Structures are given as structure tokens and as C-alpha cells.
Amino acid sequence: MEVKSKEGRLLIVDDNKSVLNALRLFLKFEFLDVITLSSPNTLIHEIENRDIDVVLLDMNFNAGESSGNEGMYWLREIKKLRKDIEVVMFTAYGDVETAVKATHEGAADFILKPWENEKLLATLKASLKLRKSNLTVGKLVKREQDLKTEMNRDDRMIIGVSPAMQNILDLVKKVARTDANIMITGENGTGKELIAKEIHRLSERCSELLVTVDLGSMSESLFESEMFGHTKGSFTDAHEDRTGKIMLAHKGTLLLDEIGNLPLQLQSKLLNVLQNRVVIPVGSNKEHPVDIRLINTTNKNLLQMIREQTFRQDLLYRINTIQIELPPLRQRIEDIEILANFFIGKYSIKYKKNCLKLQNRAIDLLQKYQWPGNIRELQHTIEKAVILCDGDCLSPEDLYLNQSHHVHTDEILTLEEMEKQMIVKEMKKQSQSLSLAARNLGISRTTLYKKMKKYGI
């Protein structure tokens, strides 16, 4: 014999104890918990201290009272405290008109006295189902709001006093309020994505999502599924419907990062969507209109790629209404010290270091260095220096920059060379103590031993 699964917590409020007993006996097999009150005076206390799903609420409690005003009052009190609780009004024939009014005040339904068991149960179960559905929707809405807040957080600053950056920021302010497609170009690490986020933040779409797609890391086989979405069963691993990135960005901004990496055979598919503003998920024939603001970034020369027939000219015209070219850090010498101090402050807090300062010799080195990795390289350089610095000032030696990599050179330290230098310096500080050196480097003693063996230290 199959045991019926019970769910939901029901609260019944009625001044007739015989009614309460009858309902409890009938409904205790249908709900996880059935709570009864013969007076509404403790109703609010019960709601505050129990996770109630549905309330079955009588309309009148005092002898001779038939206006239904008491029930209306307690309905409003319940909804004032917990809008998500479903309330079913329990009423005599004479109160039907008032009960109907109660549904406009937020009641889910009403039951007439004397009741029919099947109809009563069906109404209460429907109210419980409505409650669960609303909770699910509420969680999804909250999740979407949290996602929008998280993705649109203004916790990263655009820092720069150089004329080049001031001109760019002026241009950003001009174009942000429009829906013009934007192309942001520049070397790796110059802050293209940060500028894109600033455009979205200043736009009229700022309350919606900014959806970023890294085209450089997306495989060709997953492009259509990731971008356009798919339906359940449309291919082997499609276990459920999936919303594509473009539809996710509906009403918001779509950022196509490193669009120059998109293979030629996929460019026509993207162009078709951008021209028609319609998406058809994989495995579906249904068209979904999309309203997006498009921003693209690239570190490639797209005009050269067009000449080499690796990028479509018509796609470039479609995505490149306004172009913003970010200068490399070596052309923003005025900003280097400001950026370095910003990162010092950030990582001093993160790694619980005293307020560190840059020595003048260190500033001079930073400004002469060519920064092939631009701001991203500067950030990593400062983070590493803050971690390893033992004093209250950052010296040129703390920066681990290739001293020859100034003007007119393209040579930089490899990651392995930098790692070797860090280990050697730490070993000197700790007088050959492997345990202390490993702890300061953030690795295990065994890992440190392997690296020393690898580098011949």
C-alpha cells in the first residue's frame, strides 16, 4: 500500500471548536501539519513563529457578527506581515459578497459553510500549490536581482589623469546614453572590459544585465548552444532547456570579448542574429526577438584580418558604429604612479600589510618600464611586491622587473624566471629555512623542494 506524501503547514482559525475538530480530523492526513486556533488573537504570533503555508480564516468571530469585517481585518494583518502566505476565507452564505471583496485584498479563494470535503480539500491544495509556485518565482526574481547587482557592481574604478584617458572618458560619457554599437580596441591588459562596464553603468540599460561572452575561449562546437541556447533533447548532452547568452542579455548589454578570435564560419551566424535581432535556439523553430546593446573588444587589427579574409567586412560594419581605442600603459606615464598606489592600497588590505609606500627609485623604474602586459601586468607586479615586501617601502628590488626592459626592448622575464628569483630571495631572507620560506611563498615544503630542484637552487 502506497503511503500518501504529506506537505504544507495549514493554520485554521475559527471560533467554533466543533468545526476545528472536524477539520483537524479530516485534514491531518492531507497536510504535514494542521494547527487550529479558536481565536485570532494569537494568529500573528503563530505566523511569526511558524512557517505557515496556508491559512483557512473565518470571516466572523464574535456572536451576532456577520459583516465579515473581522476576517477582512485579520486578512490585511496577515498580508501586511507575510505577503507570501495564501489565505482562504471561511464564510457563511450571507458573507459571500464580502468574501469576494477579500479576494481583491489578497485572499486566494473562499469556502462556503457548510463545506463539501472534496471542494475544501481541492481549494486548500490549490492554494498550497500557488504558495509554492510564488515562492519559486520569488526566489528566481531575487536571484536575478542579485545577479544584476553583482554583475553591475561599481567596485572597480577607472583611474587616470593623463590626457589620453581623459579624452576616452569624455567619449564614454557621450556614447553611453545611446544604443550605438561600440568597438573597444587596444592591447591585452589595457582595461577594455573595464571601459565596457563603465559604458553599461552609464547607459539607460544599467538596471539590466551586462552579459560577457569570452569568444577567445569558446569552442566552435558549443558556439550556437552557448550563444543562442538550446531545447531539451536537441543533442546528446542537452538534458534541459538552456537560455543562450544573447537572450540572457535581452533589454541589457551584450559584451563580446575578443571578437577577433571568432572563426570565420561562425561570423555569419552572429551577423544574422545582429541584423534580424532574432534568436532561434538549437533544436527549436521558434524565433525569440532580442533587444540588446552590443559592445565588442579586440586586440587584433580587424582591417588587416579583412584583407586576409579572416574577418567579414559586413560584420565589422555592423558592430563598429563607434570605436574607442585604449592607449597602452607606456603611453600613459602620468597614470602609472597613481595606478600603482591604488593597487598597493588594495593589496595591503588584502594581505594585512602595513601601509606601504613606493620609493622614488621604484617610481622611476615603474615609469621607465615598457609594460608589455599593461595595467594587468602592473597589478600583478604590485600584488607580488606587497606579498614579499618585509619593510614599509617598496624598493626597485621588490618589483622583480627586468631591468633591461625599458625603452627600445621587447624582452621580459618568463614566469619561471620570476618564480626562481622569488624563491632565491626568500631563501636568503630565511637563512635557508625551507619551512619558513615555503610558508611565506604560500606553498608546501615538498613543493618548494621540488621547485628548488627544478631550478637548481
Dihedral sign for Cα 295, 298, 301, 302, please.
negative
The average pLDDT across 17-42 equals 92
Dihedral sign for Cα 367, 373, 376, 377, please.
negative
What pLDDT does residue 404 have?
43
Three cell numbers, residue 136: 519559486
Q: Is the omega angle on the peptide bond into residue 114 within 30 degrees of 0, that is, cis?
A: yes
At residue 201 the predicted structure's pLDDT band, cuts being 50, 70 and 90, is very high
Three cell numbers, residue 359: 620609493
100: three-class secondary structure by DSSP: helix
Mean pLDDT of the chain: 86
What pLDDT does residue 141 have?
63
Task: Calculate what percentage of the chain has a pLDDT beyond 90.
Answer: 54
**pLDDT exceeds cutoff 70 at 409:** no
What pLDDT does residue 95 have?
67
User: Cell 457578527 maps to which residue?
Assistant: 65
Compute how many other C-beta atoms are within 10 angstroms of the C-beta atom of residue 329: 27
CB of 142 closer than 8 Å to CB of 119? no
**DSSP label at residue 105:** T
Three cell numbers, residue 442: 604560500
Is the model more confident about 440 or about 286?
Answer: 286
The DSSP bridge partners found for residue 323 are 183
- Maximum average pLDDT range among 7-11, 96-100, 141-145, 405-409: 7-11
What pLDDT does residue 150 have?
52
CB of 399 closer than 8 Å to CB of 365? yes
Give the H/E segment covering residue 38.
none
Residue 418 class from Cβ within 10 Å (0-12 exposed, 13-18 middle, 19+ buried)? Answer: middle
At residue 402 the predicted structure's pLDDT band, cuts being 50, 70 and 90, is low
**pLDDT exceeds cutoff 90 at 416:** no
| pLDDT tens sequence across 292-301 | 999 999 999 9
**pLDDT exceeds cutoff 90 at 289:** yes
Question: In Å, how far are 26, 54, 73, 74, 347 from 11, measured between CA atoms?
Answer: 14, 6, 17, 13, 54
At residue 219 the predicted structure's pLDDT band, cuts being 50, 70 and 90, is confident
What pLDDT does residue 1 have?
42
How far apart are alpha carbons 451 and 457 in whole angstroms?
8
**DSSP label at residue 3:** P
User: Cell 511558524 maps to which residue?
Assistant: 50
At residue 444 the predicted structure's pLDDT band, cuts being 50, 70 and 90, is confident
The average pLDDT across 379-383 equals 94
Residues near 131 by beta carbon (within 8 Å), at least 6 away in sequence:
8, 53, 54, 84, 85, 86
Q: What are phi and psi of 180, to 5 degrees?
A: -65, 140
**pLDDT exceeds cutoff 50 at 44:** yes
Question: In Å, how far are 65, 365, 455 from 420, measured between CA atoms?
Answer: 88, 21, 7
How far apart are alpha carbons 419 and 434 in whole angstroms?
16
| HSE-CB of 21 using CA atoms within 13 angstroms | 3
| pLDDT tens sequence across 171-183 | 999 999 999 999 9
Pairing assessment for the beta strands 86-91 and 229-230 based on DSSP bridges: unpaired
- Give the least confident one: 85-89, 255-259, 267-271, 399-403: 399-403
Q: Which of 187, 162, 198, 189 is nearest to 381 (CA)?
A: 189
Dihedral sign for Cα 183, 189, 191, 197, please.
positive
Tell me the H-state helices in 109-215. Answer: 117-151, 163-176, 192-202
256: three-class secondary structure by DSSP: strand
Taken in order of first residue, the domains within the chain and their CATH numbers are 9-142 (3.40.50.2300), 163-325 (3.40.50.300), 330-413 (1.10.8.60), 415-457 (1.10.10.60)
CB of 216 closer than 8 Å to CB of 257? yes
The DSSP bridge partners found for residue 442 are none
| pLDDT tens sequence across 111-149 | 888 899 999 999 999 999 988 888 777 666 665 665 555
Three cell numbers, residue 73: 481585518
CB of 136 closer than 8 Å to CB of 129? no
Three cell numbers, residue 277: 535581432
Q: What are phi and psi of 14, to 5 degrees?
A: -155, 140
How far apart are alpha carbons 209 and 295 in whole angstroms?
13
